[in-house]
Amino acid sequence: MTNTFEFSPHVNEQLSDAIVREREYIGFYDLCDQDITPFLELAASVKQKNIVIIGIGGSALGASAVYRFLDLVRSFEKKLHILDTTDPLVLGSKLNSFDMQDAYYCLISKSGGTIETVAVAKYIDNEIKLNSENSVIITDSGSMLEQFAHSRGISHFSIPNDVGGRFSVLSSAGLIPLALVGVDIKLLLEGAQKVRDAFFNEQGYCHSLMQKATYYAQHANTYNINCLFSYSEVFREFNAWYVQLWGESLGKKQRHSELHVGLTPVGLIGPTDQHSFLQLIVDGKRDKSVTVIKIKEFDNPMKIPESSFENMESMDIINGYSFSELINMQADSMVEALDALDDIPLDIIEIESVNASEIGQLILYYELLTALVANMLDINAYDQPGVEMGKVILKEKLKG
Amino acid sequence: MTNTFEFSPHVNEQLSDAIVREREYIGFYDLCDQDITPFLELAASVKQKNIVIIGIGGSALGASAVYRFLDLVRSFEKKLHILDTTDPLVLGSKLNSFDMQDAYYCLISKSGGTIETVAVAKYIDNEIKLNSENSVIITDSGSMLEQFAHSRGISHFSIPNDVGGRFSVLSSAGLIPLALVGVDIKLLLEGAQKVRDAFFNEQGYCHSLMQKATYYAQHANTYNINCLFSYSEVFREFNAWYVQLWGESLGKKQRHSELHVGLTPVGLIGPTDQHSFLQLIVDGKRDKSVTVIKIKEFDNPMKIPESSFENMESMDIINGYSFSELINMQADSMVEALDALDDIPLDIIEIESVNASEIGQLILYYELLTALVANMLDINAYDQPGVEMGKVILKEKLKG
């Protein structure tokens, strides 16, 4: 992947020292070095056709992002199903969409006490007993869910203590379901490693990412919305992962001032959302930056035929182009149109093709960018104190 | 549906005069009075199992919103497929998901010259000839697509001139595919009529909607982001429809000042996005209003069983609740938590149950709200000049 932009603020080089220090106690930076043998061994032993994640938020979005990215091209033999809600309508519909007996369940909860996850797990356990043959548990070491795994004899894996939920896609939480479904997790980590190493070892790469982060942080009050305009449906779940990562990491009270700060992520899919959100970007308030993601090589043969619709000959200008060419020309046209406006911060990420290495790169790129912006905004990227009050109120209600 | 809030700004009553005048030349207000007999007759004559929309933006989002809302509960015998992209990966995958021979195609384009729509139509025409037996065309009267319909002998319906694409869900553009798939479009329009009539005839209803609109418009610079937090997956496509309606209508240059104004829509699904976006709302910058949509009666029996997980007995507080109760308690807990903060504008929309009347009401409610806010912001809700430049650049590229 490459990233092109014209941000050129003065960069505070102490920022990279802060990240170097942070790397000592924050775990996501070095997940690409972990030993994945146990995950691969588990994957080799599982025969079920349906891999089911029972998990929500950071326990579902990462695996979903990688799987959906690859599945439209690779079409995995095993299917990944994600139960990340308490909505009975969609739960019922999803449970009807696969054979519950021919399924392997990944119960994923960092704290071990996530209400949605336990509610769904109890429902499924009541239908088909969860046991060592049909399930695995992934949770914090020492959690009550780990205790439950012990008492049932279900194998369990830890999420490292220093890796937060929304940064956990490259830990056991994401890698196990992905390995089970057949994703090349080695290649995924190699992609992440490439970006990690470039950031820590190549001054140019590091400086350029810091420029982007500095621009976002310095303009947080003007450009408080960051649109990710991804030109392919394969990015739909990646966009959702980005929304959680960016929103939940960067929506905080500042450490020293206690001021509310926050950058709002918006995920868009091109060209579809050119017919929905683009008008707002072009003519609306100047409160948005835009990042466009493009795929260089779709490697897909679908073409617009050389045919003429009677009375519509003026449309024959599209004839003979492949759909891949067309979607990329649409992306380029939008970029040119936005560039001409000159007051919308814009950058382009281009990935080579749809494969595990490229999505691994993209993941680490966004995690690093998030960490950098959080440091500049003087906030803790790794906690989420704001969601506690709702949980407390819910527990009171449940007790009646 | 009901809507509860505590906005109480002073309302300029001339606003409702402006809307009364606008109603004379803007068509969406009175679509609920139209004669739907021709749509029902067409629906009765179509035997194919798959109904396929070839259309993008306003030509797809409305039907998609209504269909997805109802389908999880009703599970229609005929399935709606939406081809609203040029992305070859998803196009290929969708075309493989149904029998192209057992499909009825709705070509929908207001202008008649939408590049994405024509590209996909040409591709399909090349596979299975589009003809009077397997397709219908819905477009502006006099467009080149209408001419094409004539030359092929395909029946065609007009979208009224005074109804814009994103306001067209209750015109032929939305009603025909919905009738084809089996949605009760009479009930849908009755819902819309109920809200239209309440707005124009009941002073209290009108005043309360104007208060909400006034609040949004007066605080457009502070609260430039409007989150719609919908508590059920059935709203996912409705959220997408809202994003287009709100963003494309309200992102504009002001008529008199030429200033860029705009309110940014964000669609969220509860409880899933409590684990993604909620932290940003609670602790982030105070730039967001929140509207929560709840379903009063899910009418679904799924329950959390009265079972205990070994070593996790503290989680037994959820036992015996239905999932419907749980999701609504989650919504209520979030509302209470946000309400306690006191500086986040918050309102609640409650719908009775999942049926066509309720979604019809919701659609007209949001169209009216959009029209009101646009009037207050001194912008034209009904054009989209900002997307033209990209189209011009694309046409130049296509010509090589």
What is the SS3 assignment for B23?
Answer: coil
In a domain, A399, yes or no: no
Q: Are residues B192 and B307 in the same domain?
A: yes
Q: Are residues A322 and A335 in the same domain?
A: yes
Q: Are residues A298 and A161 in the same domain?
A: no
Contact A329, B135 (CB under 8 A): no
Contact A176, A39 (CB under 8 A): yes
User: How many residue pairs from chains A and B have C-beta atoms closer than 8 A?
Assistant: 390
| pLDDT tens string B170-206 | 999 999 999 999 999 999 999 999 999 999 999 999 9
In a domain, B383, yes or no: no
| pLDDT tens string B56-106 | 999 999 999 999 999 999 889 999 999 999 999 999 999 999 999 999 999
| pLDDT tens string B107-127 | 999 999 999 999 999 999 999
* Structure confidence at residue A75 (pLDDT): 86
Q: Are residues B172 and B258 in the same domain?
A: no
Residues 6+ apart with CB under 8 A from A142: none
Q: Are residues A271 and A171 in the same domain?
A: no
In this prediction, does ipTM exceed 0.90? yes
In a domain, B385, yes or no: no
In a domain, B397, yes or no: no
Q: Are residues A141 and A222 in the same domain?
A: no
| pLDDT tens string B294-325 | 999 999 999 999 999 999 999 999 999 999 99
* Contacting residues of A for B143, CB less than 8 Å apart: none
* Structure confidence at residue B10 (pLDDT): 81
Q: Are residues B195 and B126 in the same domain?
A: no
* Structure confidence at residue B15 (pLDDT): 78
| pLDDT tens string B209-264 | 999 999 999 999 999 999 999 999 999 999 999 999 999 999 999 999 989 999 99
Polymer length of chain B? 400
* Contacting residues of A for B336, CB less than 8 Å apart: 390, 393
Phi, psi of B117 (to 5 degrees): -65, -45
* Structure confidence at residue A12 (pLDDT): 78
Q: Are residues A172 and A242 in the same domain?
A: no
Q: What is the CATH number of the domain that holds B163?
A: 3.40.50.10490
- Pure H helices in A29-104: 37-45, 61-74, 88-95
Strand partners of residue B79: B50
Residues 6+ apart with CB under 8 A from B173: B55, B58, B59, B62, B63, B108, B110, B138, B159, B165
pLDDT along chain A (400 residues), means of 10: 85 84 97 98 98 98 98 93 97 97 98 97 98 98 98 98 97 98 98 97 92 96 97 98 98 94 97 97 97 96 97 98 98 97 96 98 98 96 96 95
- Pure H helices in A75-184: 88-95, 115-127, 144-152, 172-181
In a domain, B22, yes or no: no
- How far is it, in rounded angstroms, from Cα A174 to Cα A159? 10
The confidence band for B12, taking pLDDT boundaries of 50, 70 and 90, is: confident
For this structure, is A391 an active site residue?
A: yes
For this structure, is A207 an active site residue?
A: no
Contact A224, A251 (CB under 8 A): no
Q: Sign of torsion, CA B104 B108 B113 B115?
A: negative
Distance from CA of B150 to the nearest CA of A (A): 9
Considering CB atoms only, which of B118, B282, B284 is closest to A261?
B284
- How far is it, in rounded angstroms, from Cα A284 to Cα A288? 9
* Structure confidence at residue B11 (pLDDT): 84
Return the active site residues of B.
248, 275, 391
Q: Scanning every residue of chain B, which has its alpha carbon at the shortest distance from the alpha carbon of A230?
A: B87
Report the predicted TM-score, pTM, of the whole model to 2 decimal places: 0.98
* Contacting residues of A for B90, CB less than 8 Å apart: 72, 232-234
Which residue shows structure tokens 């695995």?
A136
Torsion of CA A366, A369, A370, A375, to 10 degrees: 160
The confidence band for B393, taking pLDDT boundaries of 50, 70 and 90, is: very high
Q: Are residues A58 and A198 in the same domain?
A: no
Q: Choose the mutation target among A79, A216, A276 for the interface with B, i.e. most B CBs under 10 Å.
A: A276
**Active-site residue identified among A256, A275, A285, A399:** A275
Q: Scanning every residue of chain A, which has its alpha carbon at the shortest distance from the alpha carbon of B123?
A: A304
Which residue shows structure tokens 């319909």?
B149
Q: Are residues B366 and B291 in the same domain?
A: yes
Q: Are residues B196 and B330 in the same domain?
A: yes
Specify the DSSP class assigned to residue A303. Answer: B
B360 has pLDDT over 80: yes
The confidence band for B9, taking pLDDT boundaries of 50, 70 and 90, is: confident
Q: Scanning every residue of chain B, which has its alpha carbon at the shortest distance from the alpha carbon of A321?
A: B398
| pLDDT tens string B280-291 | 999 999 999 999
Q: Are residues B209 and B105 in the same domain?
A: no
Give me the domain span that covers residue A275: 2-17+187-377
In a domain, A382, yes or no: no
Which residue shows structure tokens 């209803």?
B205
In a domain, A396, yes or no: no
Domain total of chain B: 2
Strand partners of residue A267: A228
- How far is it, in rounded angstroms, from Cα A287 to Cα A38? 47
Considering CB atoms only, which of A56, A126, A317 is closest to B275?
A56
Structure tokens at B190: 């009755």
Residues 6+ apart with CB under 8 A from B100: B124, B127, B128
* Structure confidence at residue B297 (pLDDT): 94
In a domain, B295, yes or no: yes
